[in-house]
Amino acid sequence: MRLRLFAPLLLAVLLHCNLFAQTITYNLPDGFKNTVNTAEYKTIVDTAITEIAKRYKIDNVKNGTITLASGQGMQVFNLDNLILKCSKEADHSKWPAIIKAHFNAIFSSIEAQKGIDAFNYDKIKPYLSVRIYNDATIAQRGGTETLVARTDLAGTKSLLMLDLPDAFTPVSKKQFEAWQKHTDDVFTDALANVANKQMASASPTIDIDGAKIEFTFLENEDYAASYALNLAINKPALVGEWGSVVAIPNKGLISICKISKAKPVDFVKFIQRMLPLINKSYSESTAPVSNQFFWYYQGKFTVVPVTVDDKNNVHVATPPGLSALMTEK
């Protein structure tokens, strides 16, 4: 009986001693300053650490990322989604259960992954996906040295991911190298999986200075941003003869204005009207991608230069490649 009573206390003491050997900082990550306060963030971090420490040795906690000691198979646990889950529950007494369930789902996903031969490309191919992260987020999470990444949008990295039932997890270089596949071929397969995801769509028309400007929103909580990478294949009707202007403020939302010979400069008015919304969708998101606008043409994304003067007038410069198309005879 005495052993049973002391067992939970002993576990707590062991976890406590283990955690104090680690470096833990409680600075609230920039993307969550409007989501939770510092005390709430500390509660989430401490409870998450307790759950993770039951299975893994923790090296450090910084900027919303729990980094594990090397040699354990896993590298990091990012708290973005967990913070968002907790913020939606006003009753803080329910947070421990939410956090426990969150990590139990991740741990189950890890176990499920063990049942998949991650080094057999044909077996793993249906689980491939892509996530886009801005460079600041990538740096915060330790860089891409051990991951598989490419640059599709300036200021971001597209990461090769595994889309498992309860979690997204990055593909490691060790896994990738075992497949003996070219990077472009694997990304093509991953984006083909993304293309099968359903997008919510809205195509409003706005009147700006007497001009009817047509554009489209595509939304999917997890896949919209990566869906945009193959826009000409996934939504060819949204790409004009001269391409489209695309905004991807966060992982769940894209906004598109087609550029056609019939309406060659609608994209300028589109950017001028949409800039505040895109900035807001970027700055308030827990998964921001980019606050820039891109000219999408023949599968490539080029930054559209946009400046705002001291009177809040928005000035849009046409990318050289687009200007060349417009002046062709």
- Quote the CA–CA distance of 77 and 64 in Å, as a whole number: 9
pLDDT tens-digit map of 51-73: 999 999 999 998 888 988 888 87
pLDDT tens-digit map of 3-50: 444 444 334 444 444 444 468 889 888 778 788 999 999 999 999 999
pLDDT at 119 (0 to 100)? 83
Token look-up 């895109």 returns 278
Neighbouring residues of 281: CB distance < 8 A, sequence distance ≥ 6: 249, 250, 253
pLDDT tens-digit map of 247-292: 999 999 999 999 999 999 999 999 999 999 999 999 988 789 999 9
Q: Retrieve residue 274's tokens.
A: 């949409």
- Quote the CA–CA distance of 314 and 110 in Å, as a whole number: 47
Torsion angle, alpha carbons of 148, 152, 154, 156, to 10 = -40
- Quote the CA–CA distance of 262 and 147 in Å, as a whole number: 44
Instruction: Kindly report the pTM of this predicted structure.
Output: 0.76
